[in-house]
Structure 1
Amino acid sequence: MKKQKAGNRLGGQTGFLLQAVTNQLITLGFDETEIQRGGLRITSTFEEGAQKGATAAVRKVGPDTNTEGLRIGLAAVRPGTGEVVAMYAGKNFINDQINNATREFAQAGSTFKPFALAAAFEQGVPLGAELNGDSPSTVNGYTFSNYGDKSYGPVSLLQATEFSINSAYVQLESEVGVDAVAQAVIRAGVPDTTPGLNLDNLDLTFVLGTASPSGLSMANAYATFAAGGVQSDTTYITKVMGLNGGLLYEYEPKTMAAFDANIANSVSYTLNKVVTDGTAFAAQKLGRPAAAKTGTTDGNKSAWFVGYTPQLATAVLMAKEDSSGIPVSLSGTGGLGTVTGGSYPAAIWTAFMTAALQNEPVVEFTAPTGDLTKAPDCPLIMPIDGTPIPVGCPTPSIIEFGPEPTVESSASAAPIPSDGAPAPIQPGDQTAPDPGIAPAPSDGPPAPPTDEAVP
């Protein structure tokens, strides 16, 4: 048998995993010489079945034509603990040591919309809130278009999420505040040092995913929703033992309550609807409850699929670069004119999650309580006391009242009867009936998704 070269032991994903563990050991204070000398017994978080499933998913359902410069990253995180159970970082560590799962290089696209959703829920905005789904649409001087420049008309927040409607989400962001959206992103677990997440220089494009987080950060951020709002740091290591068998390190999750549990459960409820009724429908093949969001950026420079079950959160991203490392369009990759988040990324996510969860029980999401999933209480008439109109309500009618009527005192005026039949209405009577405001007709729900379909 041909002897294996030493370098080959780092081939495939192995080198990436060892590099991640080594870097964390150094961060934990272990001396690099001590690490290289050997003798430490390290228990990692990587699970063999899940790790094999990640590699197999990319190979089996990922694109296999026109892949020059293609970069694919996958990261899977346990909600509540931050344990990284699997990672696909690149084709082969020996040939290219750049980790596409931990590198911050691909704009997130519409996978940032759930953070705006969480911020809106925190401000009491319900899923029934009405938003403008027209395209193009101008908000505060910014003009935005939906995918394919498709107009939906008035839509609910639920529909805006299911069909990833840009114009509606920009309106939502303008009303809840871009800073509130950014803070939700950070609280969920995306580092504030992420490219494009400069809190001093944000505009209404932010909700459309102009920032470039790592796949690991996005998996961990969505894991926060899966864990009922509990955010945890990530780890590759659970335990380190010394040469003499002594315990040198044991991982204890550092968690914080990033969101109220009902807010997180409401996000999960909504993202589950994106799977059952919207652009993330490819995840239905998983055969168990899932919550997910697609993302496709301008110029088709990147495509994402981020989703979770109660037990596992996973992000899959795809992007292309030229020989100089400059982002280029994914168009043509794998034979697709446009690579959307619902195409190859969704297929990879579903194949991986199927393998990673094959021995795990089917778990339902915790249902939200309260009024967040209902329509807002919208006034039909503009309040005269200046009470703010709830986010997502159409502009109420303004009723203007004329001068008080005067009673003319003259001998010709009709006498007021004291009893018997009521006086007949005099010709020319101008008494108006009680005013009534009819709700505007609805155009109905938007058409089924076409922008994120799997080929």
Structure 2
Amino acid sequence: MRRVLAVLGALVLVIAGVVVWQRSDEPPPRYVVLQFADASELWRSGDPETPLVRQVARELATRGSLSLDKLRRDGAVVVTTIDAKAQSGAAAAIREKASGRSGLVAVDPARGAVRAYAPGEDAAVDRAGGVVKQPGPVFFPFSAAAAVQEGKALDQGDAERAVRIAQRAGVPEYADVEGTRTKLLDGPDGGLRPLDLASGYATFAAEGVHRDAHFVTHVTDVHGATLYQALDTPQPAFDRDLLRSKEIANQVNEVLRNDPACGNDLWMACRAGVWPGHAWFAGATPELSVAVLAEDEAGGAVDAGLPKAVWEKFLEKLRP
């Protein structure tokens, strides 16, 4: 009997050893890691998904045919266009000047790269790309470009032509807004998002050359092989002829740079606007295009200076 028990005990030890050995050979868990442009970590799978992460996921799905689920299975590194300092500065500017009730997007005109995407501090509302608001006066550059095309005074641009110009400059006809396919600039009450406005103003800052606003530079698998690479596809926005597109953009830029709201920066082109329940400020240089939306949660009047204060604080935080 003792011999039988000893044999059984040995078998248990062997089986346990085999199980342990088999488990040690199991593949390690895979992760999706999102990196800032400087390769520091922005997010990894398992962390809560922020509005920025959701924007990256949408872009990978539509432009790269890559879902987060697939990347989670295999493991991947996603290098984004987001600048760590700009992202931190944008969030801080909103927190300090607008009590979180604001959204800010910054785009590099020379590349179309989104450098900052700050949705505000309300986890339920993405004020950078998840709300659609009437642009009001900040739509001026697009209507002015339409007027130049028609040889009219800058305040006489055709509305339908202005919408087409806005689309050529970076405002999509439809956008995924928090999971809903939404038509932008749809009639007189149509709206857009800070993401769209920053992209559109970036086209003027780039002298009439549009590049698609994007969040992702490239994606690699766990072995370093490239799964996706963003393409640079510059297109003249305001005329098929590049020089004519540049002329139109610079004619509008001259008016925007003379706006007193721009301050003393000779290269700053800007516009502000107030609408019931929200206010805008958009400013662009050849280095950076920034759009800020500020909202009143109750739908009341918003201080016209609020989005500009956020914009100024953001630029202050970018300085060395």
Normalized per residue, the structure richer in helix is 2
Answering whether residue 80 of structure 2 is matched by residue 118 of structure 1, we say no
* Aligned CA-pair RMSD: 2.5
Residue 22 of structure 1, CA deviation: 2.3
Question: Offset at 1:344?
Answer: 0.7
Range 218-227 or range 71-80, more displaced = 71-80
Kindly state the Cα deviation for residue 290 of structure 1 after the two structures are TM-superposed.
Answer: 0.7
Which one-letter code corresponds to 1:186 in the other structure?
Q
Once the two structures are superposed, the pairs formed by residues 243-392 of structure 1 within 5 Å of their partners are 243-259=222-238, 260-274=245-259, 277=260, 281=261, 283-284=262-263, 287=265, 289-297=267-275, 300-322=276-298, 328-329=299-300, 331=301, 338-340=302-304, 343-356=305-318, 358=319
TM-score using structure 2 length? 0.75
In 2, Cα distance between the equivalents of 1:195 and 1:61? 31
Separation (CA, whole Å) in 1 of partners of 2:57 and 2:247: 38
User: Are 1:302 and 1:320, in contact at CA under 8 Å, matched by a contact in 2?
Assistant: yes
CA distance in 1, matches of 2:101, 2:46: 21
Q: Which residue of 2 aligns with 1:36?
A: 72
Match of 1:23 in 2: 58
- Secondary structure of the structure 2 residue equivalent to 1:190: coil
Query: Does the Cα contact within 8 Å between 1:39 and 1:243 map onto a contact in 2?
Result: yes
- Match status 1:222 vs 2:201: yes
Moved more, 178-187 or 344-353: 178-187
Q: Secondary structure at the match of 1:262?
A: helix
From 201, 219, 238, give the equivalent of 2:217.
238
CA distance in 2, matches of 1:346, 1:288: 17
User: Does the alignment pair 1:86 with 2:116?
Assistant: yes
**2:167 matched residue in structure 1:** 186
Structure 1 residue matching 2:222: 3-state secondary structure: coil
Aligned pair count reads 263
Which residue is 1:197 aligned to? 185
Alpha-carbon distance in 1 for matches of 2:272, 2:183: 20
SS at match of 1:216: helix
Q: Contact 1:229–1:263 at 8 Å: present in 2 too?
A: yes
What CA distance in whole angstroms lies between the structure 2 residues aligned with 1:61 and 1:288?
Answer: 25
SS in 1 for 2:258: helix
Deviation, structure 1 residue 295: 1.1
Structure 2 regions of 5+ residues with no counterpart?
A: 1-43, 175-181, 239-244
Flag the 1:38–1:316 CA change in 2: closer, same or farther, 3 A.
farther
| In 2, Cα distance between equivalents of 1:26 and 1:182 | 27
Amino acid at match of 2:208: G
1:7: Cα distance to partner? 11
- Asked if the contact 1:22–1:35 (Cα under 8 Å) also holds between the matched residues in 2, the reply is no
Secondary structure at 2:162's aligned position in 1?
helix
Q: For structure 1, which runs of at least 5 residues remain unmatched after alignment?
A: 1-5, 65-69, 130-156, 158-168, 323-327, 332-337, 360-455
Q: Does 1:72 align with 2:102?
A: yes
Instruction: Report how far residue 81 of structure 1 moved.
Output: 2.0
Please give the alpha-carbon distance, in whole angstroms, between the structure 1 residues aligned to 2:54 and 2:185.
27
Q: After TM superposition, give the deviation of residue 214 of structure 1 in Å.
A: 0.9
Q: How much has 1:269 moved relative to structure 2?
A: 1.2
SS of match in other structure, 2:95: helix
Aligned partners of 2:66 and 2:184: how far apart in 1?
A: 33
Describe the superposition over 1:330-367 as per-residue Cα deviations: whole angstroms up to 9, x where unpaired. x3xxxxxx522xx01011112212333x25xxxxxxxx
The residue number in structure 1 matching 2:178 is none
TM-score, scaled to structure 1? 0.54
Q: Report the CA distance between 1:288 and its aligned residue.
A: 5.8
The answer for the alignment partner of 1:100 in structure 2 is 127
Partners of 1:76 and 1:315 within 8 A in 2: yes
Instruction: Give 1 or 2: higher strand fraction.
Output: 2
Aligned-partner Cα distance in 1 for 2:184–2:215: 26
Residues 8 and 348 of structure 1: is their aligned pair in 2 closer, same or farther, counting only changes over 3 Å?
A: farther
SS, match of residue 263 in structure 2: helix
